[in-house]
Structure 1
Amino acid sequence: MTDETVDAVSSDPLKSVADALDAAVEATKDGVAQATASVGNALPAVGGFLTGLTYKTCYAVSYGVVFPAALVARAVPKENAAVHGFIDGARAAMDLVDEMKHRSQTGG
C-alpha cells in the first residue's frame, strides 16, 4: 500500500465502515436471491412428490379394500340366508337415509 492509500483509509474510518456495510448488504441480497431461487425450484419437486405419494396411497388402500371385498363377495353362494340378510339390511339402511334426508329437507 502506498502512503496515500494508508492516509485515505486512516483519515476516513466512517467511509471504510460504510463500504464494509455496503458489501455486507450486497452479499446478503445475493444470498436471499439464491435462497429464493432454490425454494422456487424445490416447491414443484415437493408438490410432485406429495401428489405421487397421495395417488399411490389412495390406490393401495382402494385396491386393498375393493379386491378382498370382491373376492369375498364372489366366494359366498348367492342363494342363502346370509346373502338375503345382507341385501335386506342394505335396503333398510338406504330407506333410513332417504327418510332422514326427507325430514331434513322438510324441516320436520
Structure 2
Amino acid sequence: MEMYYTIRVVVSNFLDGDVFVNEETIFQTFCRIQINSFMVTDPNGVDVGLALYPRAARLDHSCIPELQYLFSNREIILYGYDSSIHSTAPRINYYECMTTTEESKLIC
C-alpha cells in the first residue's frame, strides 16, 4: 500500500488540483497497472520502465510456458517457446527470464 500512497501523492501533485480524480479511480488504475503491466527491458535485460499491453495481459501464467516474449521499441513480441507443450490456452511466465532457478522455485 505504501507504493499506492506514493503514486496518489504524485498524481495529486501532477494534476495540481485542476482535475478532480476520485480516490476509487486512482486506486483502480493503480491495481490495473500492478496486475497487468510488464517490465520492459532493453536488449541487455536492463529494466526500462512499465508498459501496459492489454492483449498480452490476458495470457495466464505458467512456470513452464508455451510462449516467451521480448520487447522491440514500443511493442511486445510473443513467440513460441516449447512446441512439445500443447495447451488450449497458451501461457507466459510472468516473471523475469533472468530469474535464477533458486528464485524461480520460491515463486512457482
More strand by share: 2
Pick the structure with greater CA Rg: 1
More helix by share: 1
| TM-score class, shorter | under 0.3
Higher relative contact order (CA 8 A, sep 6+): 2
